Amino acid sequence: MTERVLIKDLAAHEDGIVRVSGWVEKVRDQRYVQFVVLRDESGAVQLVNGGVLREADPENPRSDILVPRTTTITELTQGTFITVEGELQHNERVKLGGVEIQIETIDVVTRSLPDNPVAGDSNIDVRLDWRFLDLRRPEQNLVFRIQTTFLHALRTLWVERGFIEIQTPKLMASASESRAELFEVEYFEGKAFLAQSPQFFKQMAQAAGFGGIFEVGPAFRADHSFTSRHATEFTSIDTELSWIDSHEDVMELHEELIVAGLSAVKEKHGEEIEKLFGINLTVPSRPFPRIPLAEAKEIVKERGYEVPRADADMDPEGERQIFAYVKEKYDHDFVFLTDYATSIRPFYHMRHADDPSLTNSYDLIYRGTEISTGAQREHRIEVLEEQIKDKGMDPAELGFYLDFFRYGVPSHGGFGMGLNRVLMLMLEQSSIREVTYLFRGPTRLMP
C-alpha cells in the first residue's frame, strides 16, 4: 500500500501516485468535473475527479469524453473522513498550494452527519459545545501549534540554563493563595483543595537546593467571573530561581523567556499568523519598560482616567491606559509595573529594605492585560512570621510552609504566568475561550 503523505509535504513531492487522508471540507459537484477540498492536520489540498480526457478511439470520434462523475463524491458530506489515492500534479494555477490530485480511488473511512452544528455559526458558546468540530478550523489548528512552539522555546531556554522541570501536586491540604478562590473536594474521610498555584512547592524546591525550576501545569481558581480573561481552570507557566539580588533578576529572566517564545513563534508560524489572523507578529526589544505602580497610576490619571481606589491594584481600564502610554512613548507591547504596595501583595513577597510599605514585586502587562505576577520572596523565617501576622493570618496554619525556612533557604524569586492569556493577546483574540483547548468557567464543565 502506498504510504500516506501529509498534505503540507505534497508541494515538495514528485508528481505521481500519492495517498492522502483527512476530512472533507468542501465539495463542488459540476456537470463534468467534481472538486473536493480535503484537509488533514497539516493543511488542505484540492482533489479532482474528471477533467481528464480518455484516449480517443479512432472508430468513435466521441470517445474523448470527460471521465464521468461518481455518486461517491456527490454523496460526501462535510466532515467525512476519507482516504484517497491518485495522481499528484503540480499546477501553479491551483490556488490551494499549487498542487492537486486526480482521484483514482476513494475509501470512505467514516461518514459525517450532513448537518454540521457549527457550520457558519460564530456564537462562541455553540462552538464550545461542539469544540471538536470547531477545532478543525485552520485558525484553531494553528493556535495549538503556536502553543507547542512557544512552550518548547521556553523549555529549551530553561533546560539550557540548567533549570529542573517539576510537577507539583494539584490536591492540597490548605490554600496556596486566597481561601476565597478555593475549590474544595472530598478526600476520603476529609477535605482537600485544588491548587490555585504551585507557589509553596516552587519555594520548597529552593529549600531543597534545586536552584532554578519550572513547571507548566493546571491551576484552579473558584472565581465566579465571566470576563474574557478569566477561567476556573487554566494552564500556569511557573518558574523560580535561587540566589537573586532583587526582583530585577526575575524580570530579566522573564524578558528572556518572552523574547525566546515569540521569536520561535514568529520564525516558525509568522506567515501563517499573518494569513489566518492578519497579524504581523512582532518580537519585543529588551529591556521592557519598567514603571512603578504609583507612577503608572499618575500617568493614567493624566490621561483622563483615575483608578477608583488608591490602595488597589491597577484595574483593567488602567492596564489598557498604561499600555496605550507605553505604546505611544516606547512603541512596546510589554510593560513591567513594579513596587506594589504591601497591602495588595501576599505575605511571602519581600518588602523594600528602605520602605516596608512596598514590595519587591511586579505585574507584566501585555497589550493592555496583565499576564503575570512576579516577585522576590521573603526567605528569612522571622520576617515571614511577622508578615503573616500583619496579614491577619496565624503562622501555625502555615507550619508546613514555614518549615522550609527553618533549615536554610537561599534568596529566591519567580513568577507565574497564564499561558492562555499570552496566546489570546499574541493572536489578538477577544477571549481566552478561543485559545483554550477545553475551556472551564463557572457555567461550563462540558465537553
Known binding site for L-aspartate: residues? 177, 221, 373, 377
d(CA 141, CA 340): 39
Strands (E), 245-332: 290-292
Give dist(CA 374, CA 202) in Å, integer: 13
Alpha carbon distance, N-terminus to C-terminus of the chain = 37
> CA–CA separation, 26 vs 6, rounded Å?
18
Radius of gyration over alpha carbons of the chain, in Å?
28
Q: Which residues are annotated as a binding site?
A: 177, 221, 370, 373, 377, 418-421
Query: Strand 43-50 and strand 99-110: pairing?
Result: parallel
Q: What are phi and psi of 176, to 5 degrees?
A: -100, -15
Nearest-angstrom CA–CA distance, 321 and 410 = 38
Cα angle: 9, vertex 281, 300; to 5 degrees = 160
256 touches 157 (CB < 8 A)? yes
Sign of CA dihedral 313, 316, 322, 326: positive
Cell of 314: 491597577
Q: In 3-state terms, what secondary structure has residue 312?
A: coil
Binding residues for ATP: 370, 418-421
C-alpha cell at 338: 513594579
Rounded Cα distance, 122 and 135, in Å:
13
Structural contact between residues 323 and 367, judged by C-beta atoms closer than 8 angstroms:
yes
| C-alpha 165: how far from chain center | 19
Closest residue by Cα to residue 150 from 439, 440, 435, 441: 435
Question: What is the 3 state secondary structure string of 401-419?
Answer: HHHHHHHCCCCEEEEEEEH
Q: At what angle do helices 293-302 and 316-330 cross, to 10 degrees?
A: 80
